[in-house]
Amino acid sequence: MPDRALRIGLVSVSDRASAGVYQDQGLPALQDWFAQALRSEWSMHTRLIPDERAAIAQALIELVDQDRCDLVITTGGTGPARRDVTPEATLAVATKEMPGFGEQMRQISLHFVPTAILSRQVAVIRETEDHAALILNLPGQPKSIKETLEGLKDADGKSIVHGIFAAVPYCIDLIGGPYIETNEDVCKAFRPKSAIRPSQSHNEPTNQS
Q: What is the DSSP letter of 200?
A: -
We find that the CATH architecture of domain 6-198 is 3-Layer(aba) Sandwich (3.40)
Express each pLDDT in 57-87 by its tens digit.
999 999 999 999 999 999 999 999 999 999 9
Q: Write down the pLDDT at residue 18.
A: 85
Q: Where are the domains of the chain?
A: 6-198
Say whether pLDDT at 206 is over 60.
no
pLDDT band at 202 (very low <50, low <70, confident <90, very high): low
Express each pLDDT in 124-167 by its tens digit.
999 999 999 999 999 989 999 999 999 988 888 788 888 999 99
Q: What is the DSSP letter of 21?
A: S
Q: What is the DSSP string of 49-115?
A: E-S-HHHHHHHHHIIIIIS--SEEEEES--SSSTT--HHHHHHHT-SEE-HHHHHHHHHHHTTT-GG
For residue 58, CA distances in Å to 9, 61, 86, 153, 175 come to 13, 5, 12, 37, 22
93: left (phi over 0), alpha (psi -120 to 50) or beta: alpha
How many whole angstroms separate alpha carbon 126 and alpha carbon 54?
Answer: 16
